[in-house]
Structure 1
Amino acid sequence: MAAALCRGKHRLKAFCHSAVRLSSRNITGQFDYDLVVIGGGSGGLACSKEAAQLGQSVAVLDYVEPSVRGTKWGLGGTCVNVGCIPKKLMHQAALLGTALRTDSGKYGWRISGSVSHDWVSMAGAVQNYVRSLNWGHRVQLQDKNVKYLNMKGSLLDPHTIRGLNARGKEATVTARNIVIATGGRPKYPTHVPGAREHGITSDDLFWLKESPGKTLVVGASYVALECAGFLTGIGLDTTVMVRSIALRGFDQQMSRLVTDHMEAYGTHFCWSCVPKKVEKLPSGLLQVTWTDTERQQEHQDTFSSVLWAVGRAPESEALNLKHVGVELNTDTGKIIIGDDEQTSVPSIYAIGDIAEGRPELTPTAIKAGKLLARRLAGHSNQLMNYDNVPTTVFTPLEYGCVGLSEEEAERRYGSDDIEVFHAFYKPLEFTIAERDASQCYIKVVCERAEPQRVLGLHFTGPSAGEVTQGFALGFQCGFTYSQLCDTVGIHPTCAEEFTKLHITKRSGLDATVTGC
């Protein structure tokens, strides 16, 4: 009896301590952490590490739900595991293959035997590198005293997060401020029978143990075209199914150059086509039925893999956002935020792909995360500038751009009030290799009136990202066409062609570069 009474007192004491802890933040304003970040992708990690360096107590919750096909990965988010990093490495593998097959002989290399590609070797090397990045992120968090919780986070109230791990164990933490940075995941079409059962997405492609073989890529986003491009480049029979246009939101003249180049180098395109169903045959192959919407004809073909690249959905459903009053865009599922990344709940912020109206780009999430951490720590008032963000599409012929597309410039300013300078050029590297350079093109969109401020810059050609990055600085300074022309180019490079632009579209003159 005495022992039972003693146990009862201990239980009561423990309950009282728990009650005090749970209610203390309402009375004293004390929290477990200054900042808790939900999401361990590039933006979330950047935000958490910056906050910790500024003296904040920080925790990160990150948990990856396996894909529909069961693919899972470690800390680092989409970019590290199933996006930018493995994509660029496989793109490089394709570029090497193209150089070997088409260029090396012209440059004097004598390669005995046939050139072939081994998916297993490439994928293994890429996956090992990604795992090293996963480990590196864990070490960085530890070094900066950021608490890492491998848990799926959801909100209980504006300052309380419930974490749930893979074994079903729960933990509750409180924070003065919460940042949601859970990103997004690829979507499957809901109206196509067999799509989910038999298809894969970019969440799976980079972790395949065996070659995807003959592949149908459904979609025409940059993800679709980049994946199709490197699959073709490593020697796989690849088809892209396009419902309407490619690279929606990008300059459409540049988009056509990209897809023209891909078609010329072996990627098949089914234009104005929509998938109808996917069936698995006894052979293991996938039979895809689709409709040509222009000719109203039905077609079938068999593939080893069907890759869906039809858009991404934000990881917001499991966060319990509506319960705590966080406003969402009901059409997109993304979180509505202000210029300072704050949601409709003052203590909750969102950055990266899950935020409405933000570019779905890793560098913008990283920059926004760092600036937010500085503001929350009281070290800065600087807001993220989302204008003139440079980007590159890593298709076989790369496409880099910054600023407005020609279509958007016309919409904002009117066609009579913009001037477009352009040129078709031939990279020196293409000359001896006798490569077709008909899709290598640059254009600069300017205001027509003096001082002709540059509004947009576009480039298709080798190393487009390296070329575009430097010119992006000019946009931050509000540079003009005359300042671009006054810049001395580096010879012989593709980038120098920007400094020599003098032909306008309005003139109708031949824009082909004929000499130095």
Structure 2
Amino acid sequence: MPCWGSKSKSYDTKEKGKKVDAGRKNKGNLVNKEAGVLNNDVTTVTSKGNYDYDLVVIGGGSGGLAAAKEATALGAKVAVLDFVTPTPLGTKWGLGGTCVNVGCIPKKLMHQAALLGEAIHDSKSYGWQVGDNVSHSWDALRDAVQAHIKSVNWVTRVELRDKAVEYINGLGTFVDPHTVQAQTKQGERLLKAKYFLIAVGGRPRYPDIPGAIQHGITSDDIFSLNRAPGKTCIVGAGYIGLECAGFLKGLGYDATVLVRSVPLRGFDQQMASIIVAEMEDKGVKFAHKTIPKSVEKLETGKLKVTWTDDQNQEFSDEFDTILFAIGRRPLTKELNLENAGVKVAEDGEKIDADNEQTNVPHIYAVGDVLYKKPELTPVAIHAGRLLSRRLFGNGTVNMDYENVATTVFTPLEYGAVGLSEEKAIERFGEDNLEIYHAYYKPTEFFIPQKNITHCYLKVVALREGDQKVLGMHFIGPQAGEVIQGFAAAIKCNLTVNALLSTVGIHPTIAEEFTRISVTKRSGKDPNPASCCS
């Protein structure tokens, strides 16, 4: 995903490149060979000529950087183009893409800050003497988060230098199938390469309503906001919207979520409804079946947000901040793909690629620009590495986009891997499935008497034989840590029989998966009688 590079001068790669070239001994290197890779077979590239690079990566996010570093390790000469246009608010950031700067990393840190606030409250029940005047500083949190991000930006630049990847802080656009123009602060520069990798990611969308761009912010702005967000309206109930609403409420700010259709679209909808119920119990407000109509800045400085519901009733409220989380658009239109002959998918924006390869054999794509692929950082990283191994290291392994685990970092986290219940029914038929489910009681919730109503898990499996597991879903503390190990098990064709044959670690929440016994079909109560039942 593209991002704004730092202002320090680019290092000189000319001499370093000579040393690297002299030491290249990798037999799989395709340098100076007129070859392209299509479905792991070498095919002829029609364009002839000398190239400046073996690979030019457009976009300095997680997937692009992973591919670039892997390619140089295999002997390729690589350049990375990296640039981001500041947000309407003027927010910009350093090398590393969305995840590092305005995504996973700052989100998890602010989520942790909110959890710590909850833990301070719970600690009183465990005997800690905590005063009643506990307060939180947005400025201190923001500065700490941004300091960490800047350190990662610096380490990333140093790593590229050490691995002899040329970093160019410039906006790249295609001139022809083998040439990209880089617009830098120093002027224009043409880069010719044997292969190109599109890894530009995406940016948040704004709704087409009055005042949205002038007065609204997105997840690109929230983590570096120069003031406390105060009372916030979050438009959108995808994972970004719910995560932001969750940590804002946890930090002490009023949060209202406007939901257009369903929360967490694409996730298991039973689990999504439980997450919403848990967030409502914690004080997050939800307005369902709503569409925002306008944002108006009042003389008081407050923002008046107006919306309508599915009955066409109009509502409004005043907020300090309005955050749009209505989806992201891939940055493909800015690339002049038509000059390279690269086609986009039926949605008109994303790239439909077979094993990351576009319709132009020597141009590839990874990450969030791919059509109907998981928009997750680890997916882009793994796909980028495997691609470089196929191009420059005689690799034969393709990216497997099935059974990718993920976690929604809401106050009570939701981890999932494999198929949702809805997708499993669609693919296999309800009569061929067995849905195991259970509520459970985290031991650490007992003393502070925390709400256990929404601690829930389920396993989606085939009904016959050893009951192959198709999906696992978990709502509770540390859901990401819990689901990660089970994701590996699903990759190894986990069955319910094997799951129930596994001895759990007691008392943990992960062990709840090893003792599921109640199916939805049975109609039995899925609530446990005790912590050890």
The verdict on a shared fold, with TM-score over 0.5 as the criterion, is yes
Question: Is residue 449 of structure 1 aligned with residue 464 of structure 2?
Answer: yes
Aligned residues of 1:352 and 1:362 also touching (Cα < 8 A): yes
Q: Quote the residue 1:133 is aligned against.
A: 152
Tell me the C-alpha RMSD between the 2 structures.
Answer: 1.2
Q: Equivalent residues in 2 for 1:252-331 (5 A)?
A: 252-293=269-310, 295-331=311-347
Match in the other structure for 2:58 = 38
Residue in 1 aligned with 2:191?
A: 173
1:88 aligns with 108
The superposition leaves residues 344-387 of structure 1 with CA deviations (integer Å, 9 ceiling, x where unpaired) of 11110000001112110000000000000000103301100000
The separation in 1 between residues aligned to 2:348 and 2:230, in whole angstroms, is 33
Residues 387-406 of structure 1: pairs in structure 2 closer than 5 A: 387-406=402-421
Q: Which letter does structure 2 place at the counterpart of 1:30?
A: N
Distance 1:201 1:229 in 2: 15
- Would you say how many aligned residue pairs link Structure 1 and Structure 2? 487
Alignment match, 2:9: none
Kindly report which structure 2 residues correspond to 1:109-508, keeping only aligned pairs within 5 A, or say none.
Answer: 109-165=128-184, 167=185, 169-190=187-208, 192-293=209-310, 295-338=311-354, 340-508=355-523
The CA distance in 2 between the partners of 1:196 and 1:100, in whole Å, is 38
Contact 2:178–2:340 (CA<8 Å) still a contact in 1?
Answer: no
CA–CA distance in 2 between the matches of 1:387 and 1:330? 22
Residue 113 of structure 1, CA deviation = 4.0
Q: Find the aligned partners of 1:446 and 1:282 in 2 and give their Cα distance.
A: 57
The answer for the alignment partner of 2:125 in structure 1 is 106
Q: Secondary structure at the match of 2:474?
A: strand
Aligned to 1:15: none
| Secondary structure of 1:105's aligned partner | helix
One-letter amino acid matched to 2:75: G
Secondary structure at the residue paired with 1:372? helix
Q: Tell me how far apart the structure 2 counterparts of residues 421 and 355 of structure 1 sit (CA, whole Å).
A: 33
Equivalent in the alignment of 2:73: 53
2:232 aligned partner, one-letter code: T
Once residues 300 and 28 of structure 1 are traced to their aligned partners in structure 2, the CA distance between those partners, rounded to angstroms, is 62
Where structure 1 has 5 or more consecutive residues not aligned to the other structure, the ranges are: 1-24
Return the index of the structure with the highest Cα Rg: 1
Report if the CA contact (8 A) 2:74-2:393 is conserved: no
For 1:305 and 1:246, the matched residues in 2 are separated by 21
Matching residue's letter, 1:62:
D
Q: Return the TM-score normalized by structure 1.
A: 0.93
Paired AA for residue 464 in structure 1: A
Q: Decide whether aligned partners of structure 1 residues 119 and 452 sit closer, same or farther in structure 2, where only a CA change above 3 A counts.
A: same
- If each structure's helix is expressed as a fraction of its own residues, which one has the higher value? 1
TM-score by length of 2: 0.90
- Cα pair 1:351 1:368 within 8 Å, conserved: yes
Structure 1 distance, partners of 2:474, 2:502, is 17
Q: Following the alignment from structure 2 to structure 1, what is the Cα–Cα distance between the partners of residues 308 and 398? A: 47
The 1:100–1:144 alpha-carbon spacing in structure 2 relative to 1, beyond 3 Å, is same
**Contact 1:64-1:74 within 8 A present in 2 as well:** no
Amino acid in structure 1 at the alignment position of 2:74 = L
Structure 1 residues 28, 508: CA separation in 2 closer, same or farther (over 3 Å shift)? closer
Aligned residues of 2:203 and 2:330 also touching (Cα < 8 A): yes
Contact map agreement 2:456 2:476 (CA 8 A) in 1: yes
Gaps of 5+ in 2: 1-44
1:4 maps to: none
Tell me the distance in 1 between the aligned counterparts of 2:422 and 2:102: 31
Deviates more, 1:37-46 or 1:26-35: 26-35
Is residue 315–residue 354 contact of structure 1 (8 Å, CA) maintained in 2? Answer: yes
Match of 1:510, SS state, is coil
Task: Determine if contact 1:289/1:301 at 8 Å carries over to the other structure.
Answer: yes
- Contact 2:237–2:325 under 8 Å retained in 1: yes
Distance in 2 separating the partners of 1:354 and 1:410: 29
Give distance in 1, aligned partners of 2:206 and 2:172: 24
- What is the one-letter code of the residue matched to 1:136? V
Once the two structures are TM-superposed, the CA of residue 451 in structure 1 deviates from its matched residue by 1.9
Q: Provide the C-alpha distance between the structure 2 equivalents of 1:100 and 1:145, rounded to a whole number of angstroms.
A: 47
- Give SS of 1:106's match: helix
In the alignment, the residues of structure 2 paired with residue 27 and residue 271 of structure 1 have an alpha-carbon distance, to the nearest angstrom, of 54
Q: Partners of 1:262 and 1:113 in 2: how far apart?
A: 24
Deviates more, 1:29-38 or 1:419-428: 29-38
The whole-number CA distance in structure 2 between the counterparts of 1:288 and 1:513 is: 44
Give the counterpart letter for 1:222 in structure 2: Y
Q: Say whether the 8 Å CA contact 1:313–1:332 is kept in structure 2.
A: no
User: Which of 503, 509, 512 in structure 1 is aligned with 2:524?
Assistant: 509
Instruction: Supply the AA of the counterpart residue of 1:41.
Output: G
Distance 1:487 1:211, change over 3 A: same
